[in-house]
Structure 1
């Protein structure tokens, strides 16, 4: 089963676009190799609004967001996770609207750091974010836009949460599932075992449409989840085969596996390989010398 990604999405930066009944998408102009065409902020409701993912600290995006809100009351600002491209505007938007921040919790790593270990994505984390309301897995927020249920989907980050607008069959999937690209899972910020378990959790649901944090919608979620899971298992098997064939370092595996990938993306690829290797170590299939990190030596078990 192949994973067919859709990179044809055309954003309309600064302009709210209707994507479902009572749901508008506003894409920030933070285009880049990790953010694609920019971060999607969603406005839910009519006279009273809910905002999902305020977006990066960008004055143009804040102005566009306030124009789209147009003086209406905002009853909650939800964050799928605490990377700065999603929550950089949280303080400015809360100050402008008076709305409480709602999330699974503040930023944290997926596991304690080993002695001397560095969180390679720490600079991307929003350590200033503190939710006014914490939402647990399966807990609901009753809003004028409808009942919004928090679905804990750790993996990309430990505090990643998707939000289901269940009366419409919509899932705001953040960076967990996106149509344009596979998700970056980079330990210790994220964890592959958590990510795979979160895919399984979503597979048990019946949401009809995913609205992700970057790019266009996932229109056939069930099939896309199956293909994503199969893709990850195939990549895992490829990495395990490279270790058994003699590759000992992440850089060697990236060079072999991502030969056709632009060099500019090899850094992200290395983080993905490391996440798979950490999972393989946890399952006793691979061993690391000196801890699981980018420069570690890996051996088959």
Structure 2
């Protein structure tokens, strides 16, 4: 998807609702859209969600946005390098603890479709599913949403019905699911769990607010299931390698995006293999 026209509000404080403000990092790319969005929750004391990349300009923008207020917690949804590296210097500047997802570093020789993992991430506290952090007038509860990464958390703001979705649900694109850590089965299960919730709005790390969250999630699940049916149909016709599936499935899509498509197809195949729908013989896949 093409980036929107500039100027973007990079470094500015945007007040989205009484308890929620947003600061956009200067790291726009084909995988981060206009950049990673850091959220400030609270009024007199704050939680900072996804402090963002290791960028001095973004750190300075966050310090300006905090404006001398107490920071109760710096909270991380997951440990890709566009999300968590600024947590440590922000903690040093504010004295706040780093809490949220568990540390995770996965190395792979496959083409990367997202940011690499942050090796420096060292939380003071890991939140389990359902655990909460609270300040004056706000409560953020962890919602475990594995799939994009196995350690991914969303954070539910109980006072307003908002859900901070990190990269699990984004406001501009579907989430990337890249094996070995990304897991399509977990991703779909997490989407189904979100669809059962009654959140009013999603605030993703990339892209605009999602005002009809359950409708979007339903569409995302439908899109993934349609891709799965497409794979199964093609493999019923003949056994194929991933390299033979992608040109058929993504006909008309810019070939520069085919490596990303290959990883998505691979994630689907691994999930289907686990459920006994497909099998592989070397590099070739077939229906079971």
Q: TM-score, normalised by structure 1?
A: 0.89
Residue aligned with 2:83, SS: helix
Counterpart residue number, 1:84: 81
Contact 1:9–1:216 under 8 Å retained in 2: no
**CA deviation after TM superposition for structure 1 residue 288, in Å:** 2.1
Question: More relative contact order in 1 or in 2 (CA 8 Å, sep 6+)?
Answer: 1
Aligned mates of 1:142, 1:8 — CA distance in 2: 35
Contact 1:108–1:189 under 8 Å retained in 2: no
**CA deviation after TM superposition for structure 1 residue 7, in Å:** 7.0
Superposition misfits of 4+ residues, deviation over 3 angstroms:
5-11, 117-123
**CA deviation after TM superposition for structure 1 residue 9, in Å:** 8.9
Residue aligned with 2:96, SS: coil
* 2:28 pairs with 1:31: yes
The CA RMSD measured in Å over matched residues stands at 2.1
Contact 1:7–1:180 under 8 Å retained in 2: no
Q: TM-score, normalised by structure 2?
A: 0.93
Aligned mates of 1:58, 1:248 — CA distance in 2: 44
* 2:72 pairs with 1:45: no
Contact 2:40–2:46 under 8 Å retained in 1: yes
- 1:127-142 pair list within 5 angstroms: 127-142=119-134
Structure 1 gap segments, 5+ residues each: 291-295
Aligned mates of 2:14, 2:150 — CA distance in 1: 30
Counterpart residue number, 2:178: 186
Structure 2 gap segments, 5+ residues each: none
* 2:255 pairs with 1:263: yes
Aligned mates of 2:62, 2:51 — CA distance in 1: 8
Contact 1:147–1:165 under 8 Å retained in 2: yes
* 2:191 pairs with 1:204: no
Aligned length: 286
